[in-house]
Amino acid sequence: MPIDLSAKYLGLKLKSPIVPAACPLGADLDALKKMEEAGAGAVVLPSLFEEQMLSEEQTLVHYLTHSKEQTSEALSYLPEPDEFHIGAPDYADHVRKAKKALSVPVIASLNAATPGGWVRYAREIEQAGADALELNLYHLVSDPTVPGSQVEASDIRIVREACARVKIPVAVKVSPFYSAIANVAAQFVEAGARGLVLFNRFHQPDINLDKIEARPAVNLSTSADLSLPLRWTAILHGRVKASLAVSSGVHTHEDALKAVLVGADAVCVCSELLTSGIGAVSRILKGMRSWMERNEYSSIEQMKGSLSHRNCPDPEAFERAHYVKALSGYHLPAKAR
């Protein structure tokens, strides 16, 4: 039986739902070509960070208004340009080159924490030919006087401003830490987002016990991280008018199949590519195809969402009722007694 692996995401036609997520691999054109050869439906480029955009603008302003000495002092709090994957001036160029080298859609990514003039980069990215824009809202609000409602309002404003700047579809890479994810998701869509990426992965610092100091850490995911995006994709499928992409914890074809079953239009993969290489894309697709054959699914579209909250025979599996059931049904292992 011929299996149709094609998918629709952000109004784009993808030859498969597997999409390498934003990560340093996407800064390399050869790696992007390998992703396409391995069967990726689209690629997401690494983010251009708000700090990079601000740094570029501040450099310009300071050079125009201050001496060179003052400028370097003022900018010393910003990360060095080479700490980023690609600098702001080169980002649009990278989008252009990726578009030229690939036939699959190229999704550019902007990382932002606050509304501001940086949104003009969204337009530059569109003009460089990106097929879509992913907006990665990564920030940590540690000020105890700032309420969640203020954070949400600011994030929604960022989305509204970015969406107003471009005609290409914008997907928001959502934080899993909002208190009412479904409501915030709906407000992002109302503000113009055509897609939601569930979820952004926040890297947590670690403590070095030898040096007795905190250090930043990049923690790669495992398949155990998939349950959070699975639950929310299942809940949001059919309830918001936007494409949904699962991101976090996809390592195997089983993970990718689960994501599609709960309603994902696209399945993003990052940690697995960093640990096993880009060949993981074809391995996952091969596994998906043979599972679909065995289970008589002829297409991704046919399979998509059949276990979402709306369609699932046991929707409470995604709700609080299941929390109570799961905990009360837990059997203590003998060695714990």
Ligand X SMILES: Cc1cc2nc3c(=O)[nH]c(=O)nc-3n(C[C@H](O)[C@H](O)[C@H](O)COP(=O)(O)O)c2cc1C
Binding test (CB under 6 A) with ligand X, winner from 35, 247, 258, 312: 247
The answer to whether 240 and 270 are in contact (CB under 8 A) is no
Structural tokens at position 215: 């250090």
For the CB of residue 69, give the shortest distance to ligand X in the complex, in Å: 33
Burial of 106 (0-12, 13-18, 19+ CB in 10 A): buried
Q: Does 23 bind ligand X (CB under 6 A)?
A: yes
User: Between residue 135 and residue 154, which ones bind ligand X under the rule CB under 6 A?
Assistant: 136
Cβ-based burial of 193 (10 A; exposed 0-12, middle 13-18, buried ≥19) = buried
Q: What is d(CA 266, CA 19) in angstroms, rounded to the nearest whole number?
A: 7
For 73, the token pair is 């002092």
Residue 220 lies near ligand X (rule: CB under 6 A): yes
Among 15-23, 144-152, 232-240, 284-292, the segment contacting ligand X (CB under 6 A): 15-23
Comparing CA positions, the residue from 16, 17, 20, 26 lying closest to residue 48 is: 26
Site string for ligand X, 44-73 (x = CB under 6 A): --xx--------------------------
| Residue 284 interacts with ligand X (CB under 6 A): yes or no | no
- Least Å distance, CB 111 to ligand X, is 6
Which parts of 92-111 interact with ligand X (CB under 6 A)? 109, 111
Measured from the CB atom, is 3 or 78 closer to ligand X? 78
Options 124, 225, 255, 265; binder of ligand X; rule CB under 6 A: 225
Total site size for ligand X, rule CB under 6 A: 23
> Which DSSP string do the residues of 193-259 spell out, in sequence order?
-SEEEE---PPPPEEETTTTEEE---PPP-GGGGHHHHHHHHHHTTTSSSEEEEESS--SHHHHHHH
Interstrand relation of 7-9 and 18-20 (parallel, antiparallel or unpaired): unpaired
253-272: which residues touch ligand X (CB under 6 A)?
A: 269-271
HSE at residue 161, side-chain half, CA atoms within 13 A, is 17
Interface segment toward ligand X; rule CB under 6 A; list 16-24, 58-66, 145-153, 174-182: 16-24
Give me the count of residues in the chain.
Answer: 337
| Residue closer to ligand X (CB basis): 14 or 137 | 137
Question: Mask: binding to ligand X, 175-204, rule CB under 6 A, as x and -?
Answer: --------------------------x---
The site for ligand X (CB under 6 A) is made up of 21-24, 46-47, 109, 111, 136, 173, 201, 218, 220-221, 225, 247-250, 269-271, 274
